[in-house]
Chain A
Amino acid sequence: MDIATEAKPETIVLKGRKVVGGRAEGEALVTTETISGWGGINERTGTIIERRHEMRDVSFAGKILVFPGAKGSSGWSAYFHMTRLNGVQPQAMIFTRMTTKIALGAVVTRVPAITELDQDPLTVIETGDWVVVDADAGTVTITKKDRS
């Protein structure tokens, strides 16, 4: 590999379907586990609290949240709605499994959201990558984090 390509960070563009419009960029937080709203997050801190969740005690506030989708109680949207009112919502949502819980939750959290991507975001994107979500254009642009 020559020096020119090594110095340039790797960028990947995924195409998908807009769920909620808008554009946001930030650091990715990736989990392969679904998230519970009611009983699964602290709506005052944006922290995952579920007992056996791999991201327990991690906050998604201000992150680009990359996850399979929603699970659990019908209070999902109400709890993510509260994270917005408390200013600890994620900056954007990228997910793979469409349900009424995640659709309504993304709408009331009022952050750009995207699904049906042409590659699996849960494997392409890693925690710490810089991600630009342009939901209106249906694109997710990933700059891999510096591994040096």
Chain B
Amino acid sequence: MKLTDYEKAMFEGEHGRAKARAMDLLVRYGEALGAERLVETNNVAGAFNASTPSVQAIAQKGMEHIYSELNLDSDEVVEVPHMVAHTCQLITGIDNDNWELQGVDKSLVDMQRANEKYLGRRGVNMFATCTPYQVGNVPVKGEHCAWMESSAVIYCNSVLGARTNVEGKESTGAAALTGRIPFWGFHITENRRGTHLVELDVEVDDMMDWGLLGYYIGEVIGEDIPVINGRSHQPDLIKLKHFGAAAASSGGVEMYHIPGITPEADTVKEAFGTRKIKGTFRYGAKERRETYEKLQSSTEKKVDFIMLGCPHNSIDQMALIAHMLEDKKIHSDVQLWVHTPRAIKQVAERNGYIDVIRDAGGVVMSDTCPAISRRLPAGTKVIATDSAKQAHYLPAITGVQGWFGSVSDCVDAALTGQWNGRA
């Protein structure tokens, strides 16, 4: 791989051992990909925080051991300098406030907090959300990024027109210290054009509609780049956040175009550029119905846990849930957790939404989610969620049965203890 003089100097240790180890990882990774060079990045979203039992043994040796081993793949333990790129922490395993409800051991909470202090001083901003684009990290079109989190990557590429591959814990660790990432995949303009056409024969309007469309597209497209044509309604952040998370769960979609909506194509022709259309799919009432059925993994109508807010809720979603719960009480056999980024939680608190949700018997969680933490209320057997992503992962990861539906169907289940959702 070709390195600039500055990159060579970092590689050879002229800028310290941490950067030398980071460059070593980036060169091994770039060569594995077959990349010709690195590209500069000043926007890194990664997983740095220590919050799991498996990290505890390493944490006891010192925080620099965690970064060296897990974020740089380095046997040499290096002092960690300040990050050179703008860097943020994505979602983590523990809610710093509601950890007892999660059933987390206090020693893990102490580790997470100590690790946050260590990282914070070095410039890792503790957004602690899967949606950094909701709380201040909104890359501009064309900006080269190094992001993890599949639902954030697809949003970054498609809705914002910024450029990132699905990075990992080690590559983001190295990128944050060097401001470099392999120039490969979605960093290259020609690789961002559409591959498959999806024609809509049915209206796609509310959040559930967009979630179903995303889940369908992931299943049929896999890792390719869909171009969606025939929309009847203007989507917003909430709908595209849900759509992308669903497409990245059932498949590996990292980029899509909705001509006229997403920034890299105004027309279908422009979305494909010089690429030949590899295939066309039609999404109609039948496909919608089948996708809805696929997302249901429960036969038991009695529910005991309602999970809302994956990807993390926007302030408008928090407002809607508070509105639906005003002067009501959730069923005594049901637990309701609503997830939103910590920064948005503060606004929701100020608006009184948190009080309303709490008075109804629900809990507002931040920093984490049940799929990431693998922690559900004790004894949970049947869940209901408005997230296609959680409906996909939670039954697989935790062995529960799951219902998927609209936010109003989920709130209804919270109030009645029964699932009465409809497609």
Contact = CB atoms under 8 A, between A and B. Distances in A.
Given A100-B165, A103-B32, A72 B170 contact: no
A81 B166 contact: no
B400 interface: no
Interface stretch (A24-32, A106-114, A118-126, A136-144): A106-114
A77 interface: yes
Interface stretch (B9-17, B100-108, B146-154): B146-154
Given A101-B168, A104-B171, A106-B32, A74 B252 contact: no
B34 A107 contact: no
A11 interface: no
B401 to A, nearest CB: 12
A45 to B, nearest CB: 13
B47 A104 contact: no
Contact of B168 (A17, A71, A76): A76
27 contacts: A17-B34, A19-B32, A20-B32, A39-B371, A39-B393, A39-B397, A74-B153, A74-B167, A75-B168, A75-B169, A78-B169, A98-B33, A99-B223, A100-B167, A100-B168, A100-B182, A101-B168, A103-B29, A103-B32, A103-B33, A104-B29, A104-B167, A104-B170, A104-B171, A107-B170, A110-B73, A113-B32
Interface in B185-229: 185, 223
B399 to A, nearest CB: 9
Interface residues of B, number: 32
A78 B70 contact: yes
A74 B166 contact: yes
B31 to A, nearest CB: 8
Contacts of A113: 32
Contacts of B274: none
Contact of B73 (A17, A71, A108): A108
B70 A100 contact: no
- State the majority secondary structure of interface residues on A: mixed
A101 B29 CA distance: 10
Contacts of B299: none
Contact of A107 (B32, B184, B185, B371): B32
B168 A105 contact: yes
A106 B35 CA distance: 15
Contacts of B25: 107-108
B35 to A, nearest CB: 9
Contact of B70 (A72, A81, A99): A81
Interface in A64-118: 71-78, 81-82, 85, 97-101, 103-108, 110, 113
A8 interface: no
Interface of B: 25, 28-29, 32-34, 47, 54, 69-70, 73, 148-150, 153, 165-171, 182, 184-185, 223, 252, 371, 393, 395-397
B148 A100 contact: no
A60 to B, nearest CB: 19
Given A19-B32, A50-B396, A82-B54, A101 B166 contact: yes
Given A51-B396, A77-B168, A107-B25, A100 B150 contact: no
Interface of A: 17, 19-20, 39, 43, 50-51, 71-78, 81-82, 85, 97-101, 103-108, 110, 113
A81 B170 contact: yes
A113 B34 CA distance: 13
A74 B73 contact: no
A105 B167 CA distance: 10
A94 to B, nearest CB: 14
A105 B185 CA distance: 16
B33 A20 contact: no
B167 A72 contact: no
Most-contacted residue by chain A among B25, B170, B182, B184 (CB, 10 A): B170
Nearest to A49: B396
A81 B29 CA distance: 14
Contacts of A110: 73
Contact of A100 (B69, B166, B393, B395): B166
